[in-house]
Amino acid sequence: MKFQIASPSHYFTDLRLPWSRHLNDWPEENFVEVARGIHRNVVKFISHKDQVYALKELSTPIAQKEYRLLRELQELGLPVVEPVGLVTNRDENVSDSQYLPISKPRTVDLHNRGLLITNYMVGALPYRNIVQQGISPEQMHQMLDALAELLVRLHLSGFYWGDCSFSNALFKRDAGLMAAYLVDAETGELLDELTDRRREYDLELAHTNIAGDLMDIEASVGLPGQLDPVDLADSLLDRYNNLWAELTRFEIFNPEDQFLIEKRIGRLNDLGFDVEEMEITTVDDGKQVRMVPRVVEHWHHKRRLASLTGFQVQENQARRLLNSLNQYRITLSEQEGRDVPLPVAAYRWIADIFSPSVENIPAQLKGGLDDAEIFHEILEHRWYLSEAQHADVGMAFASKSYVDTILRLREK
C-alpha cells in the first residue's frame, strides 16, 4: 500500500482504517455525516484529529490525475478543494486481521483502485443544500456570478474543466456574496494555453449541465421566485462572456491619452485580477496605441490583504477588510497629523479595530462563519445602526449590538 501526502499539516496514515477495502465495504462507524452533494463516484467522509476529510473511490489512473491537477491548480492560487493525499496499491502486503472488524466481505478487486483524500471545506456547501435551506432570487444570481467567475479564472490559467456544473462546485459566503470552488477535476486538463474552441466547448457543457442541475432542483424543491432553469443557464453564459471580454479585450488609445491605460488596469484590479504584463504596440503609423492586457488569475485584494495582515480570506471579504483598513488609516493620519504608512496602519487596525470586534463573539453563536465574514456583518450592522441614529455608532457598540440582536436571534 502506498500513501502520498501533499501537506505535513494533514499528515495521517491511520492503519486502523481498512484502506485495502472498497469504501462501500468500510464499517459505517468510520464515517461522519456532513453536508454533501451528489457524486458520480463513491465519496465518504471521515474525521481525524478534529479535521474532516473526503475520501473518493476512483480507478488508480484517474485518482492520480485528479490528485496532480488539484495540486497544480492549488499552486496557481485557484479556488479548489485542498488535496491532502492519495492511497494506491491498496491490495499489496495487507492482512485483513490488522483492521477494525469488517461487516461485509470484500466485493471489489482493488488492484487498480485509488483513494483520493481532500480536506473538507468548513462553511462551503453544495448548491442543493443552499437552495433547500431557502434562498432569494438575488442569492441564486450570486451563485451564478460565482460559478462564472470560477470558470473564467480556470480558463485564464489554461484549465479545461470538461464537466463544469453546480454539482461539481462548492459555494461559500463571501462578504454577502458567494465564492465558488472547484471540487471535481477528474475530467480536466491543464494546458499551456486554452484554445477558443476548447473554451467554447467547455461553455457548452457547462450550459447543458447547469440547466440540468437547475431542472432537477426545480422538480424537487423549486427555485426561488419561480426562476426558469434554462434562463438561468443562459445568464451564466452572459456573465461569463461579459467578464471574459473585460479581462481579455484590447483597446486603442491616442498617445496623449495613455492615462486611460492606468484606468483600465484599475478596472481589472477592481474585478480582483492583476495585470501580469501588457502588450503595447503602435498602430495607424504611430498615431494610436493598442493595448492588450495579460491578466493573471491571482486574487488582487486577497493577496494584498494577506501581505499586510497575514489574513487568508475570500476575495470580497478581503476587499471589504481593506476598505475598513484604508478608512482607519485616513482617520489615524488625521489624528496624528502625518501620513501613517500602510503597514503601520495595518498592524494597528488589527489591534484596535478587527480583533476587538470579533474576539468576544461567543463560539457557539458563530454558526460556522469565519472571523472575516463576521467582521463584514458587523460592518453592515454598524452602517444600518448609524443610518438610523444619523451618527456613527462605532465598532464597539455595533459589535455588541450584532451579538445581541442578530446572532442570538439566529440561534433561536
Its pTM surpasses 0.85: no
pLDDT for 101:
43
Regions in the chain scoring below 70 on pLDDT? 8, 10-13, 92-111, 175-176, 253-259, 261-262, 269-300, 411-412
pLDDT for 106:
47
pLDDT tens for 115-128 read: 999 998 888 889 98
Residue 100 and residue 32: Cα distance in Å, rounded? 16
pLDDT for 113:
87
pLDDT for 100:
41
Grid cell of 294 as nine digits = 495579460
Residue 367 and residue 393: Cα distance in Å, rounded? 25
pLDDT tens for 233-244 read: 999 999 999 888
pLDDT for 328:
87
Distances from the Cα of 229 to the Cαs of 141, 165, 188, 307, in angstroms? 12, 13, 25, 41
Report DSSP letters for 251-298, one per residue.
EEE-GGGTHHHHHHHHHHHHTTEEEEEEEEEEETTTTEEEEEEEEEEE
For residue 73, give the nearest of 150, 168, 177 by alpha carbon.
Answer: 150
- Amino acid making up residue 221: V
pLDDT for 38:
74
pLDDT for 210:
95
3-state secondary structure of 383: helix
Residue 91 and residue 275: Cα distance in Å, rounded? 49
Residue 170 and residue 381: Cα distance in Å, rounded? 27
For residue 298, give the nearest of 157, 89, 138, 400 by alpha carbon.
Answer: 157
Q: How many CB atoms lie within 10 A of CB 212?
A: 15
Which residues, in sequence order, are CB contacts of 87 under 8 Å at separation 6+?
1, 2, 3, 4, 19, 114, 115, 117
Q: At what angle do helices 395-402 and 371-389 cross, to 10 degrees?
A: 110
Residue 47 and residue 45: Cα distance in Å, rounded? 7
